[in-house]
Amino acid sequence: MTRIMGTVAERLARNSYQTDEEFGHIEINQRIVRVTGTGRLLVAVCPAHVYAEEPDGTISAEYAACLECGTCLAVMPAGSLSWHYPRGGFGVEFREG
């Protein structure tokens, strides 16, 4: 049995990310998020802190840090997010050890 060592932050720091500068795999429908009042939920659930509430109340997404866990897609109302896996060769690469 393999024992996982280190804190969650230390383990996440081992990951490698290949950022696709031409295709952001997350798009937010600001209108639906505003109407449903789910912006802060979106900010709260993401383990990678991809989402942030801006001073004007909109939600921004720093998609390069996405862990591709799908939590945001699972909790948000239909139509509020357009989320796709990154194109081949891009996204997160999880590393152990």
Report the interface residues with ligand SF4, using CB under 6 A: 45-48, 50, 66-72
DSSP state of 38: -
Shortest spacing between CB 46 and ligand SF4, in angstroms? 3
Shortest spacing between CB 84 and ligand SF4, in angstroms? 11
CA distances from 86 to 24, 26, 63, 81 (A): 8, 9, 10, 15
Q: Which residue number, 26 or 34, has a Cβ lying nearer to ligand SF4?
A: 26
- How are beta strands 16-18 and 59-61 bridged, if at all? unpaired
Q: Which residue number, 4 or 44, has a Cβ lying nearer to ligand SF4?
A: 44
